[in-house]
Structure formats: structure tokens, C-alpha cells
Amino acid sequence: MKILVAVKRVVDANVKVRVKSDGSGMELANAKMAMNPFCEIAVEQAVRMKEQGQAEEIVAVSIGPQVCQEQLRTALALGCDRGVLVCAENEVAPLQVAKILKALVEKEGVDLVILGKQSIDSDNNQVGQMLAALAGMGQGAFACKAELAGGRMDVTREIDGGEQTVSLKLPAVITTDLRLNEPRYASLPNIMKAKRKPIDQVTPADLGVNTASGLKTLRVSPPAERAAGIVVESVDELVEKLKSEARVI
């Protein structure tokens, strides 16, 4: 089995980002960057499957500028075998990301695609579902458990009412939720080994994908600051404020 794992470069989850003064986007200059946390879970799941003898090769792919090689090297240090960087200087919309991944799935002959369910920057939660639809593959979104059994992937997914288990015929797409696993840390020897692992570079045009997007960001603004709380003197005053000011009752 060959597994493809997508990893995205995002601002570190512990960094508080600020909106640019002109409202055109987020201020990312000198911000610490890292692999998207949900992508870390996807990499961990793929590596565990290889350690269990269920996969022969793991290909990590990232879409973005040259600096995305840092996150690919991290994925290689965690256990992926080789990387693919799809060079794109401009922001690539979710639909174009899905089309790029579909082209790579066909080119590489991938049996299983594992993605984070969403990235912590755009928070769209779209690529996995779009990829499955474009490629005609079964999907198990929001996976909290995934097991290979009899040539099929049994995926337990988190839904509003609890959990649902689906059996997917390969090839398939899985998007990872937080409770699927606990990602490991890369050891120093593996970090050194990762420097020698290959990273191929292609462009969206090489894959026959036009990255022009119909989406345009008009303005970015921070959330409104919450007003300070107040102390009421009685239950009657509380009820009155809930009626007249909060308008919740």
C-alpha cells in the first residue's frame, strides 16, 4: 500500500496572530511557522500503519513556496519516505488544492490519502471531501479511529450524535480528528536522516491544474472585543437584563 499525506505550513498554534493595519490579511512577518496540528495527526497515522506492516511507502506533499520544505522535512523526520513540494507562491484555494492532490494520487498510484480535517489558519474543512468527490473515492471524515481489515479501511468518525463507523473500499480518503492519535516527536537521528531523503518539486502546471481562484478576500478584521461583565443585585434585575439587553428570553 502507498499512502499520501498532505501537510500544510501554518502559523504555530501557540502564536497569537494580528490583523494587518490595512485589513488585507494577517501579519505573518517573523511569525513562527509549523506543521498544521491536524496534519501532524495524519502523518502519525500513516507512520503507524507502516510500522504495522500495512504500508510500503509514505509520500508527504505540501503546496506552497519553497519554505514549505521545512514542514516536509519534519514529516520525513517523523517517518515519511519522501516528499513532494508543489511550488506555488500565491495562496491556493481549497478546490485547487483538491485538484492538485487528485493529480498526485493518479500520478503516484496512491491507495490511501490521509489529511487533517482542517487547517487552523483558514479553518475551511473542505479539501478532503472535495478530493474524494473529484477522485471518486470513498471518504471517512473526522476519523477518531481507523483500522485496515480485509483490504478495507474501517473508520470510526465523530458525528453530532456520537460516533459512526464506515467501511471504505480502497483507494479512499481519510480526514483526521484530534482523538485519532497522539503525534510523536521527531528524534535527533531521524531529523538528520530526513536531510538525505528526497523532495521532488513540481508546479501546478506540471500536474495540469490551474490555480487561479474565483475567491477573493475583501477584508480581514479581528473579532469584536467582549464587553465587561456586570454584577446584578437580584434575580429580577437579571431577568430584566436578559429580556431587554441580551434579548435571550
The structural domains of the chain, ordered by start, are 2-217 (3.40.50.620)
Which pLDDT value is given to residue 226? 82
Taking alpha carbons only, the member of 101, 174, 93, 176 closest to residue 131 is 101
Q: Which residues of the chain have pLDDT under 50?
A: none
Taking the C-alpha atoms of residue 3 and residue 52, their distance in angstroms, rounded to an integer, is 14
pTM here? 0.85
Continuous segment of H or E residues that includes residue 8 = none
C-alpha cell of residue 134: 473529484
28-49 tens-digit pLDDT: 888 899 999 999 999 999 999 9
Which pLDDT value is given to residue 50? 95
**What Å distances lie between residue 31 and 14, 16, 89, 140, 191, CA to CA?**
11, 9, 18, 33, 23
71-115 tens-digit pLDDT: 999 999 999 999 999 999 888 999 999 999 999 999 999 999 999
